[in-house]
Chains A and B, each alone.
Chain A
């Protein structure tokens, strides 16, 4: 069974502070993908990143960076110099590839980030 744990329910930071959102996952699969999605108050899910289980390189995209550590089953997300527009709920998710090639996604419970101006 797959499981994604986001222990931080809510985080508040002051604008320009850095913030890290934690994600710990469980899976028996050797091949899997990890995602981060952003859900602003409007409700849509915005894709941020996908990482496969064979690629442990950290990634940076602008103010966003991700730290994937297979040894600790973690895929943490850091926002540098946070902005008010970063306020949203962030979901970490885990997928496995079925034999048909499509994905079945397990989501964490989400972390609500509030950036205070």
Chain B
């Protein structure tokens, strides 16, 4: 069964609003989670590394004020897309591993559409 749960699966929002996406590790604690973005028919691009109890590490070119990441517990990381614009429409997917070098498991992803 799934070991990483992501919610919601899809969301439609209006421009200017904020959207929060949750990523939960179901039966293990994850000190680190990763957030990816995937445009249609393209690969996954790492956006940021979410660290429990500390600030996220963002990849070059990713606006940290635009994509707020909070990793308040060992089983939950959230990604908030603030003041969403149509160009933020994409597939967002999170991942986590049970321990440092174990395989990464991915959530089912969230398809965001900004109108």
Contacts and interface: CB of A to CB of B under 8 A. Distances in A.
Interface residues of B, number: 24
B105 interface: yes
B103 A44 contact: no
A110 to B, nearest CB: 6
Contacts of A103: 34, 97, 100-101, 104
A102 B43 contact: no
Contact of B106 (A45, A50, A101, A108): A45
B104 A101 contact: no
Contacts of A108: 43
Interface string B80-107: 0000000000010101010111011111
Contacts of B43: 91, 107-110
Interface of B: 31-32, 34, 42-46, 49, 91, 93, 95, 97, 99-101, 103-109, 111
